[in-house]
Copies of this chain bind each other. A is one copy, B any other.
């Protein structure tokens, strides 16, 4: 796990606590467990995935999948995680990093590669302007066969 460029966990946690306080919400062990699990497992997960990861990481914690859904929605509303719905079954969530990125998805093994291209971003802005849209967000997915699966 590369730590150099990433937000430290403590900073993330503080941001979360601040957010909770501002909204008169409570800091609970379940909420922290979900946040930490997302932090420790970089990648894209379904609520079910995350639920299982939390149970594995905290075998003694009593947690229900309902809480995972509720917490993910809370985190998404506050842009701490972001979600993306790929073709099949449900949304997948990941921790938002500071940097926006797009996804390259292998049809064969499901691998997801993230990338970012400044020129594409600029063109997207241009297209929005052309249609008088005030852009709030965007996502792009490229589907294909990754180099491993081409062999």
Contacts and interface: CB of A to CB of B under 8 A. Distances in A.
Interface stretch (A16-24, A38-46, A117-125): A117-125
Given A87-B85, A140-B139, A132 B107 contact: no
Contacts of A150: 132, 134
Contact of A145 (B107, B136, B144, B146): B136
Interface in A121-139: 123-124, 127-128, 130-139
A134 B144 contact: yes
B124 A123 contact: no
A142 interface: yes
B133 A138 contact: no
Contacts of A102: 127
Given A85-B87, A123-B120, A127-B104, A138 B143 contact: yes
For chain A, what secondary structure do more than half of its interface residues adopt (helix, strand, loop), or is it mixed? Answer: strand
Nearest to A133: B144
Copies of chain A in the complex: 2
Contacts of A144: 128, 133-137
Please classify how large the interface on chain A is, using the bins under 10, 10 to 19, 20 to 34, 35 or more: 35 or more
Interface of A: 83, 85-87, 91, 102, 104, 106-107, 113, 115, 117, 119-120, 123-124, 127-128, 130-147, 150
Given A132-B147, A140-B141, 8 more contacts: A85-B85, A104-B131, A104-B133, A107-B136, A117-B127, A124-B142, A128-B144, A140-B140
